[in-house]
Structure 1
C-alpha cells in the first residue's frame, strides 16, 4: 500500500508541479506526518524531491527530472512507446504529438513501426467511422443503436451496451450486451450500419469474453478446392496451411468454410480459377448458380 502511494505522490507532483503537505495528506487520506515520511522515502530512492517553506513554498520535484531514470528500464520504455503507438494507430489520426512528448520525457527517439488502415479498395472510410464511434461509446459507457446484417442475410435493429473491440481472424468485432437478445454477442464491424450513440448509460458489469465460443458459432463444411496457378498469389494470401501443388503448378486446398451464402459468394469471387472437387452437393450448387448467372446474359 505504501509503495503504491509513493508512486502516486510522484505522479501527482510531476503532473501538478507543486503541492503542500496538507494537500497531499487530504489527497491520499493519510496524516501530514505520514506524508513527510513518504517524502523521505522517495528522496532515499534517488528521486530529487524537496520541500520549501514559507509563502509560495511546498513539495515539488526538480523540473528537469525524468521518470525513466528511476522507474523504467530502456526495454520497458520502448515497450510503452510501441504499445501506445499501436493503440494510436487504430484511431486513424496522424498526429503524433503525444508520442513526441512521451519520447522526450523518456529521453529517447521512437520508431514508427505500425500503420493501420481500416479502408479497403472498395469501401473507403465507413469502418473507421464505425470503429471510432463505438470506441467513444465504450469509454463513455453509452448504449449504441445500429442495424445489423447476419450471415443468413437477415437484418435487425439492435440496441447494445458496448464492452470492447476485438480483432480476430483478420476482422474487427464488437463484443457487447445485446438488449434485444438479452445476452452477450459478437458483432462483425463490417455488418454494422447506421450506428448511433444514445444518451442511455450503463455500468461496466459484464461477463468475461468468450471469443472461441461466440465468434465461431457458424456451421462449417469441409471443402476441397483446386486453383489455377494463375491465382496462386491469392491462394497463398488466404490459405496459409495445407497447400499442395501438382506438376502443372495447380494448387490444392482443403478448408472449412461457413455452410451458408458466404461460401458461394467467396468461391465465386475466384471466377474461373477455382474448381470445387468435394463435396458433390457444393459442386451441384455452384453449377446451378452459374447456370442462373448465364441466363441473365443470354441477350
Structure 2
C-alpha cells in the first residue's frame, strides 16, 4: 500500500510540480506527518525530492528529474477508456487528438489488458448531463482551452442577469459541472472568479502571457469555491413544515436543502409531517421554488417568505381563475 502511494506521490510531483504537504495529504487521505515520512523515504531511495520553505513553498522534485516507472497494472490498463470522456475532448476541440491518443494507448497494451479495456469501453458510458437537460452551446470553448493551455490573457464580452460587461482576464482553468462549462480566471492577480462559458458572447485571445499564481491548484480551488458560493447564496434560513411527499419532492429538486431538512427535522403537531430548517435564497426566488412542492410544504417563518408565497399564489389564482381568451395576444386579426 505504501509503495503504491510513494510512486503516486512521485508521479504527482512530476506532473503538477510543487505541491504543499497539506494538498498531498488531502489527495491521498493521510496525515501531513505521513506525507513527510513518505518524502523522507523517497529521498532515502535516491529520488531528488526536497521541501521549499515559505508561504509559496512546498514539496518538489529537482528540476529536470523524470521517473521511468510508468508501467500500468492490468486494472489501470482496463480503466483507460474511462480516463477521458469523448464528449469533453470534443467540446474542447481535442476530439480527433483524444481518439488518436486512445488508439495508440490501446495498441501499446498487452493483449489481455487491451481486450479488457475494449470490453470496458463497449459496456460503460458516462453522460454528465442531468435528466431533462441539454448541453449548452459554447462555441468559444476551444479558444478558451487554448488560452488556458498557453497561458494567454483574454478579453471577453460577458452577459449575465446584471447585463453585458467586458472583462480582461487571466484564464486559469476550465471546469465541467453538471454538463455546464465554467471558466476560472483572475484579473491582474486578484482572487479567481468563475464565469459561465455559455454567457461569453465574444472572446479575444491576446499575445500577452501571464504567470499563474504559485501553488494554484484548480482541483483544490473549485470545490472550495462551490462551497463558498452555496453558503453565500443560501445564507438565510426558513422554518418549514413538510409532509412525507414534500420531503420526497424536495430531495428531487434540491438535494442540498433536503440534506439540511433531514438533519434538523423534528416531529410536527400535524400528524405525519415534520418541522425543520431549510436554507433559502431571496423570498421572491424561494417562493417560486417552494411552489414546486405544492400543498406539501408550509412556511412558518420568515414572514417575508410567507408574504412572497401568498402573492405568487394569488397571481397564479388570478391567471387561472378566469376563462382563457383564445384571441388574446393575437395581432393583425382585424380587417384592413
Shorter-chain TM-score bucket reads: 0.5 to 0.7
The partner residue of 1:104 within 97, 103, 107 is 107
User: Which residue of 192, 196, 199 corresponds with 2:202?
Assistant: 196
Residue of structure 1 in register with 2:290 after alignment: 267
SS of 1:236's equivalent in the other structure is: helix
- Determine which structure has the larger strand proportion and give its number: 1
Residue matched to 2:157:
146
CA–CA distance in structure 1, aligned partners of residues 156 and 172 of structure 2: 14
- Alpha-carbon contact 2:240-2:298 (below 8 Å) kept: yes
Distance 1:253 1:92 in 2: 45
- The residue number in structure 2 matching 1:164 is 173
**How many residues of Structure 1 are paired with residues of Structure 2 in the alignment?**
223
Instruction: Please give the alpha-carbon distance, in whole angstroms, between the structure 1 residues aligned to 2:88 and 2:170.
Output: 21
Contact 1:131 1:189 in 2 (8 A): no
Q: If the length of structure 2 is used for normalisation, what is the TM-score?
A: 0.51
Supply the distance in 2 between the matched residues of 1:173 and 1:127 (Cα, whole angstroms): 12
Change (3 A) 1:287 1:260: closer
Q: Does 1:215 align with 2:229?
A: yes
**Richer in helix (by share):** 2
**Secondary structure at 1:215 match in 2:** helix
What do residues 84-109 of structure 1 show as CA deviations (whole Å, max 9, x unaligned)?
A: 324x4523578755323312212223
Taking a change above 3 Å as real, the CA distance of residues 184 and 121 of structure 1, as seen in their structure-2 partners, is: same
Cα offset, 1:128, TM superposition: 5.5
CA distance in structure 2 between the partners assigned to 1:92 and 1:253 by the alignment: 45
Supply the RMSD in Å over aligned alpha carbons: 4.1
Q: Is the 8 A contact 1:145 1:195 kept in 2?
A: yes
Deviation at 1:220? 1.3
Please tell me whether the aligned partners of residues 220 and 259 of structure 1 are also in contact (alpha carbons under 8 angstroms).
Answer: no
Relative to structure 1, the CA distance from residue 259 to residue 197 in structure 2 (aligned partners, 3 Å threshold; closer, same or farther) is same
**TM-score, length basis structure 1:** 0.56
Q: Does the Cα contact within 8 Å between 1:89 and 1:114 map onto a contact in 2?
A: no
**What per-residue deviation string (whole Å, max 9, x for no partner) do you get for residues 228-274 of structure 1?**
44455433333353525979665665332334654334323434443
Partner of 1:25: none
Name 1:187's counterpart in structure 2: 194
Q: Secondary structure at the match of 2:199?
A: strand
| 1:278 match | 301
| CA spacing shift, 1:199–1:136, aligned 2, 3 Å | closer
The residue that corresponds to 1:91 in the other structure is 89
User: In the TM superposition, what whole-angstrom CA distance separates every residue of 1:138-168 from its partner, at most 9, and x where no partner exists?
Assistant: 234351413232xxx4223132332112356
Counterpart secondary structure, 1:294 = helix
Residue 236 in 1 paired to residue 251 in 2?
Answer: yes
CA distance in 1, matches of 2:243, 2:140: 37
Deviation at 1:175, TM superposition (A): 1.1
Assess if the C-alpha contact under 8 Å between 1:92 and 1:117 holds in 2: no
Q: Is the 8 A contact 2:240 2:300 kept in 1?
A: yes
Q: Assess if the C-alpha contact under 8 Å between 2:153 and 2:170 holds in 1.
A: yes
